[in-house]
Amino acid sequence: MKRNRFEMEILKHRLLVDPNYANNTWKILEHAIMDILTNHKLGTLSFENLYRHAYEMVLHNFGEKLYSGIVTTMTSHLSGISKLIEDAQEEFFLEELNQRWADHNKALQMILNILMYMEIAFIPRTHKTPILELGFNLWRDIVMPRTRLRDTLLELVYRERNGEVINRELMRNIIKMLKDLGSSVYDEDFEQPFLEVSADFYSLNSSLSLIENMALLDMIVNDKYEDLGMQYNLFRRVPAGLSIVRDVLNLYIWDTGKQLVADLERLKDPVNFVQCLLDLKDKFDKNISLEFNNDNTFQNALNSSFEYFINLKPSSPEFISLFVDDKLRKGLKGLSEDGVEVLLDRVMMLFRYLQKKDMFEMYYSLHLANRLSSGKTISIGDERSLIDKLKTECRCQFTSKLEGMLIDMKTSQDTSVGGED
Amino acid sequence: MKKEDMVKLISAEGFEFVIDKDAAMVSQTIYNMLTSPGSFAETQHGEVTFPEISTTILEKICKYFYWHLQFASGKETEFPIEPELTLELMMAANYLHT
């Protein structure tokens, strides 16, 4: 409201003498916009100058002329681009499309910045399409060679399935472009046809080819989260697809876990071992939540794998207790209150996997007793916190024993210090 | 006071105000200018000329930028505006999207 009142004041103060004002100003902007679209003369264009011209046009009620001018200019430019892409040779088609799309995005952003005043002061009240959306729509309607693109993408998928190496990054960029253009574009131009082709493929092949397995593995091992996410979304809709991905993930988890547990070096360093366990769990949790949509079946698979190989190792209960011991002795320094909570919760998570919980109990009591008697525990609060968590988890006798130890400790402290609470 | 963190704003009369980029970017317009992809003349040289903004107003605006940076951290003070500057200041603020 306040803005409009001042705009009117501003208009009153401006003298509009030149009848050609609008045309001349538009001409200036038109040239600049074309320079931006064609990537010319960068570094010589003055932002302030252009911004001011656009600002004044809108202020003087020439917003309509400005807006339609932009539509026209972009449309004619993109028609040229469309032709270029059409003429592109087979091997260069995707690259050309990709490059032009990147150029278009950059130009759009620059144009938006210059025309920001129109975007916020003119477009909303006239209900016109905002600039970025306009740019995307024009691209979609004028440039996008939809049939050829679809066919090219499917061809690539086919080639990869037959063991050829394709440019995955390029493909990823193109698919991202489809998504940016609107989910319906992505659906129609890629996902639907892809699924049709895949259904055929998978019904012919009951399991993934070796190449696909390796590709999946590569993604998992190297944390290629985006790739994984894409794969998951595609596989999800194909009947056997999901269990295949799950199997690959499972195998990988088992394998890694078993290796970790068998590693003789690690046997010497319990703290390190437990830390590795935690890191591994983290990685897979992240995988599952980011890529696999927190899919329950995946989560269950992860849990059973973890349970298996943690218990494969007879010294796990002791090691986990030693890990806690180490942390509590060092005082969990540098961790915020939340950080402490998180760490203790993660220890609890490992505890839950243990089958021989009584062994853990034995070691834990031992280690706690040591800490208390040698005065090596830094924070009674943290000790308390962990015991409470154990209590919630298992409601067994040993937690009351542990509590008893803490109380005894406190009592003896109070007695020696003289009752300081 | 590194050079890369400063930007020069030049008034209609040619007065130069060298201020922190953080301050200048209180103006959404200047922010867009400095963070825009592609290279505009202004980002190349680190200076922006405002041929339509007088020295007095530009100076006031620079003060406003710094006041705003302080105010954002919670201190409650009022920004003093001399009445005769009000209209021009509001126009400039509208222009700079501040």
How far, in Å, CA of A261 to CA of A390, rounded?
25
Burial class (CB in 10 A: 0-12, 13-18, 19+), A196: exposed
pLDDT surpassing 70 at residue A170: yes
A222 and A79 in a single domain? The answer is no
- Of A197, A219, A241, the one marking the end of a domain is A197
How many Å separate Cα B58 from the centre of its chain? 7
Alpha helices (runs of H) in A87-145, residue ranges in sequence order: 93-114, 116-121, 123-126, 131-138
In a domain, A5, yes or no: no
pLDDT given at position A394:
75
pLDDT given at position A15:
47
A254 and A373 in a single domain? The answer is yes
In a domain, A218, yes or no: yes
Tally of domains in chain A: 2
pLDDT surpassing 70 at residue A266: no
A363 and A322 in a single domain? The answer is yes
pLDDT tens for A31-56 read 999 999 998 777 788 999 999 999 99
In a domain, A203, yes or no: no
Q: How confident is the model at residue A421 (pLDDT cuts 50, 70, 90)?
A: very low
Contacts with B91 from chain A: Cβ below 8 Å: 6, 10
pLDDT surpassing 50 at residue A12: no
pLDDT given at position A104:
94
CA angle (A179 as vertex; A176, A185 as ends), nearest 5: 130
**Residue B32 at interface with chain A, using a CB cutoff of 8 Å:** yes
Domains defined along chain B, listed by start: 3-96 (3.30.710.10)
Tokens linked to A59: 């202020």
Q: How confident is the model at residue A19 (pLDDT cuts 50, 70, 90)?
A: confident
How far, in Å, CA of A70 to CA of A64, rounded?
10
Q: How confident is the model at residue A329 (pLDDT cuts 50, 70, 90)?
A: confident
A305 and A188 in a single domain? The answer is no
> A10 and B33 in contact by Cβ < 8 A?
no
Percent of chain A with pLDDT over 70: 78
Tokens linked to A3: 């803005």
A107 and A233 in a single domain? The answer is no
A223 and A330 in a single domain? The answer is yes
> A116 and B50 in contact by Cβ < 8 A?
no
DSSP 8-state secondary structure symbol assigned to residue A288: I
pLDDT tens for A389-413 read 888 887 667 777 788 887 777 777 6
pLDDT given at position A13:
47
pLDDT tens for A199-219 read 665 555 544 454 555 565 566
Distance from CA of A10 to the nearest CA of B (A): 7
pLDDT tens for A236-261 read 665 566 666 676 677 677 777 777 77
Answering whether pTM is above 0.80, one says no
Q: How confident is the model at residue A129 (pLDDT cuts 50, 70, 90)?
A: very high
CATH code, A168: 1.20.1310.10
A162 and A264 in a single domain? The answer is no
**Residue B15 at interface with chain A, using a CB cutoff of 8 Å:** no
Distance from CA of A340 to the nearest CA of B (A): 30
Mean pLDDT for A221-240 is 61
In a domain, A8, yes or no: no
pLDDT surpassing 70 at residue A373: yes
pLDDT given at position A186:
73
Higher pLDDT, A394 or A21: A21
- B-proximal residues of A, 90-149, CB under 8 Å: 106-107, 109-110, 113, 116-117, 120
Mean pLDDT for A146-159 is 81
Which of A6-20, A79-93, A288-302, A315-329 has the weakest average pLDDT?
A6-20
pLDDT tens for A297-316 read 778 778 877 887 788 777 88
- Helices A93-114 and A21-37: crossing angle, nearest 10°? 140
pLDDT given at position A420:
44
8 Å CB contact between A267 and A280: no
8 Å CB contact between A366 and A333: no
Q: Sign (positive/negative) of CA torsion A300, A302, A306, A308?
A: positive
> B36 and A10 in contact by Cβ < 8 A?
no
A120 and A219 in a single domain? The answer is no
Q: Which chain B residue shows the shortest CA-CA distance from A51?
A: B29
pLDDT tens for B59-79 read 999 999 998 888 866 666 778
Range of the domain at A362: 210-412
pLDDT tens for A377-394 read 777 788 888 888 888 887
Facing residue for B94 by CB, picked from A3, A36, A45: A3
Q: How confident is the model at residue A1 (pLDDT cuts 50, 70, 90)?
A: very low
A214 and A127 in a single domain? The answer is no
Mean pLDDT for B11-29 is 93
pLDDT surpassing 60 at residue A419: no
pLDDT given at position A93:
87
In a domain, A418, yes or no: no
A135 and A172 in a single domain? The answer is yes
- Of A170, A197, A224, the one marking the end of a domain is A197
Distance from CA of B85 to the nearest CA of A (A): 14
What one-character-per-residue DSSP string does A222-254 give? TT-HHHHHHHHHHHHTSTTHHHHHHHHHHHHHH
Under 8 Å CB pairs connecting chains A and B tally to 59
Percent of chain A with pLDDT over 90: 21
Q: Which chain B residue shows the shortest CA-CA distance from A44?
A: B41
Higher pLDDT, A376 or A214: A376
Q: Which chain B residue shows the shortest CA-CA distance from A59?
A: B95
Higher pLDDT, A148 or B2: A148
Contacts with B40 from chain A: Cβ below 8 Å: 42-43, 45-47
A225 and A187 in a single domain? The answer is no
A192 and A303 in a single domain? The answer is no
The overall average pLDDT reported for chain A is: 78
pLDDT given at position A28:
93
- Helices A146-161 and A210-221: crossing angle, nearest 10°? 100
Higher pLDDT, A154 or A63: A63
- Of A197, A231, A259, the one marking the end of a domain is A197
Closest CA to A344 of A357, A353, A335: A335
pLDDT given at position A100:
92
